[in-house]
Amino acid sequence: MLFVLRSRWITGEAATPPFEVNRLYNKVKTWFSASPARALSVGFALIIAAGTVLLMLPLSVRPGQEIGWLDALFTSASATCVTGLVVVDTGTFFTTFGHWVILALVQVGGLGFMTMGTLFALFLRRRVSLKERLILQESLNQANLEGIVRLVRKVIAYALTIEAAGALLFTLRFLPDMSVGKALYFGIFHGVSIFNNAGFDLFGDYRSMANYVSDPFVNILSIALIILGGVGFVVLADLAEYPLRKRLSLHSKVVLTATAGLFLGGALLIFVFEYTNENTLGPLGFGDKVIAALLHSASTRSAGVSTIDIASTRQATQFLMVCLMFVGASPGSTGGGIKTTTFAVLIMAVLTVLRGRQDVVLFRNRLDPERVYKAITITIFSFALVMAATMILSITENHMFMPILFEATSAFATVGLSTGLTPNLSDAGKIIVIVMMFIGRLGPLTLFYAVGSKSKRTLYRHAEGKIIIG
C-alpha cells in the first residue's frame, strides 16, 4: 500500500503524500537495503511469491486438477530453495508450462537470483554496482569482494556446461524408453534438477527414479551431477585451474576430503544396514546394491534423488540419513545443511582438545578462532532450528517421531528425501516446512543478520573468568 500511494504521488495522481506515509516508506526501503543479507532474503521471498502466482494459473495444472495457494506456495518454495519436497506429484499434476516454471525456479534458486541478475547485467554490458557485489559476496559465501564478478562468470559457465552435458547424457539414455521429444524434455529437466540438488523428477507416483535402480549409467551420472553441484563453484574453479596452477586452495582440500569421507562412509553404512532388507537393497544383486548405496549416500547430502523406498529403510538407516542431511553440501554450492567445511572444523576442534593442543590445524594451516566460533554457532543454531521444527511438527502431525525428524531435517538441509509424510502434512505443517526450506536455503546466519544486525566490534576485553567444563 505504501508503494502504491507513493507511486500515485510520483505520477501526479495524488497530492503530496502525508509525512507519516513518506517516513514509513523510507523506513521500509532502508530496512530492505540496509544489508546484503536483507536484500538476499527479500529477493528469494519475491521469487517464491512470483512462482506461487505462476503455479496457480490454470495453464500450470492439468485439466481436472486444482491447486490451492498453500500447495502452490509450498511447491514454489521447494523449487526456489532447491529442496524437492512435494505435496502434489510433479510429473502427473502439472502441465509442461508448470514443469518449466518449476525448472526456472530451480535454476534461479540453485545459482542464486543475484547470479542470474549479474548474467543479464554482463550481457547488457552494464557495470555491476558495489551494492550488487556485496549481495553476490553474501550469496556465494565469499570472504571478500576481490574477483567476485569473475567468479560469477565462472559459476555461470560451469553450471551451464555441466547441466548441458547432464541433459545430453540423460537424453541419450532415455531414448530407448520414450520418444525423442520426451527423452529430450526429461533429459533437460533431470539434468538441471539433479545438478542443482533439487530432487524434482517427472516419473510420477512419488517414485523418483525407482525404475533405474539397476541402471549403472543413470546412477553414476546422477552421482556425478550431485557431487559437482554440491562441492561448490569455488572448488569447481579450483579444479578447472589445477592443471595450470598445480595446487589447490585450503578450502578446496577441506571440501574434497570431507566430501569423499562422508560419501564413502555413508555408502558403506547404508550398504551394511540395508543389505538384507527385502524392501530396499535385499532383492538386488551385489553390484546394484553397491551402486544404490553410493547414490543414496550422495543424495542425502542435499540432492533428494532416490531409487528405493525411503520409508521402507530401517530406522538405523533413516537416522544415518538424518545425520548426513544435517551436514549437507559445501559452501557456495546448490546444496544446504551446515556444510562440509563446518563439519570438518568441528571434528578438528574436537581432536585438538583431545590432543591437548590450542590451535585447530587443517592441512598444516592454523585456523583463526573466529572460524571455529562461527562453525560452532552455525551448528548449534541449525540443530536448535531442526529440533524446534520437529517438536512443532510432532504437535501438528499425527505421525511417529522418526518420519517427522527426517522431514524436518530434509527441509532444513534442502534435500528433498521423504518418508512419505510431506504429501499428508496439515496446513500448519506445510507452513513449518516452507519456513525451514527458506531458512535452509538462505543459511541460518544470513537470515539472522537479515532480521537483526551484526554487533560492532568492542574495543575492550572483560576480565578472564574460569568455570568447570565436563
Q: Tens digits of per-residue pLDDT, 209-234?
A: 788 888 999 999 999 999 998 888 78
Segment 354-386, tens digit of pLDDT = 988 888 888 888 888 888 888 999 899 999 999
C-alpha 186: how far from chain center: 22
CA distance 434 to 395: 17
Answer for the pair 281, 308: CB distance below 8 angstroms, yes or no: yes
Q: Is the dihedral of CA 436, 439, 445, 447 positive or negative?
A: negative
Indicate the pLDDT class of residue 269, thresholds 50, 70 and 90: very high
Helices 130-139 and 113-123 pack at an angle, to 10 degrees, of 140
**pLDDT higher than 70, residue 143:** no
For residue 183, give the amino acid letter: A
Burial class (CB in 10 A: 0-12, 13-18, 19+), 72: buried
User: Distance between CA atoms of 186 and 175, rounded to whole angstroms?
Assistant: 10
pTM, two decimals, is 0.84
Model pLDDT for residues 163-175, shown as the tens digit of each residue: 999 999 999 999 9
Partner residues linked to 362 by β-bridges = 365
How far is 443 from 227, CA to CA, in rounded Å? 20
Which cell numbers hold the place of 143? 570472504
Judge contact between 250 and 361, C-beta under 8 A. no
Sign of the CA dihedral running 317, 320, 324, 325? positive
